[in-house]
Chains A and B, each alone.
Chain A
Amino acid sequence: MKRIVLLLILLALLPGAAVGAQQPAQPAAPQGEFVPVGSLPQAEQLPAAPLVIAAYAIVWVALLAYVGLLWKRMTKLERELADLQRRVQKH
């Protein structure tokens, strides 16, 4: 019975021991001061160019899509108007 209890205790401690083994022996020094984004390593910086390009592309796409939509609606209305004028003239 004692052996089973000892085994269970060992098994319970095993995950904690594994996590402890993964941790570095010396914890990193805490960050004590502000670090400007520009001073961060290149790998940690978010590139600005894709965001700027996306922003400008979205503006152009939105405006062109709206002009296209206006054009489509105008063409449809003009067709409808011509048809109606023909019908009114027949009456």
Chain B
Amino acid sequence: MSRIVVPLVLVAMVLFASAPLVVANAPFEQTMGLVQKIFYYHVPSAMLMFVSALLCGIASAVYLFRGSAAADRVAVAAGELVVLFGIIVLITGPLWARKAWGVWWEWDARLTSSLLLWMIFLAYLLVRRFGGPGSEKLAGAMALFGMANVPFVHVSVNYWRTLHPKTSVVMTLAPGMRGAFWFCAAAFAILYVLLLTLRKRLEDKRAVVEQLYLAVED
């Protein structure tokens, strides 16, 4: 493992090991009580899903317009992480909603657009996996649509009637909750950088293997 990966693993481990204690010591929300603690993992995961979708879209644009293979490898890594963090968001959200709203799911603008965003990036990975030769470019175009969807998902709670809290909720947190939230957000961000680095490295190795296969065939 390289110089970057080892410190990242250590920091991520320390932060994730102490995160449950930090969350447990954070004050209880007045109306929702204990179930609001899901917030500390749900929101950072959602933020990273958005960041990853933007990164995948930007890297795909660089690949499509400049032909950079390295950018395409970053796009694959980021696309896979959109799906991973999307799974977390789409499972932890309904668990929270069941107690707070009384329903597992509501087909409102935020939840539906989040599901669509996740499905676009799942389709991105499926196209790359099963699309055959040239599918990288088709998938890259899909990533651009996925990236364009991110701002709509983010502001959807402010423009449409929904049960979901508005975007201002993070900035208006009580001081006791704010520290715990940003602690968890930092832990998730470091984990994200670590996973992205490892996934990109996997894709780099795959490119080397493909080149060697071509060399052996020649």
Contact = CB atoms under 8 A, between A and B. Distances in A.
Nearest to A78: B205
Interface string A64-78: 001100100110011
Contacts of B91: 55, 58, 62
A91 interface: yes
A32 to B, nearest CB: 20
Contacts of B38: 51-52, 55-56
A30 interface: no
Nearest to B81: A66
Nearest to B20: A56
B202 A77 contact: yes
Contacts of B205: 74, 77-78, 81
A48 interface: yes
B34 interface: yes
Nearest to A63: B191
A56 B96 CA distance: 11
Interface stretch (A6-14, A18-26, A82-90): A82-90
A77 B35 contact: no
Contacts of B181: none
Interface of B: 20, 31, 33-35, 37-38, 41-42, 45, 84, 87-88, 91-92, 95-96, 98-99, 191, 195, 198-199, 201-202, 205-206, 208-209, 212-213, 215-216
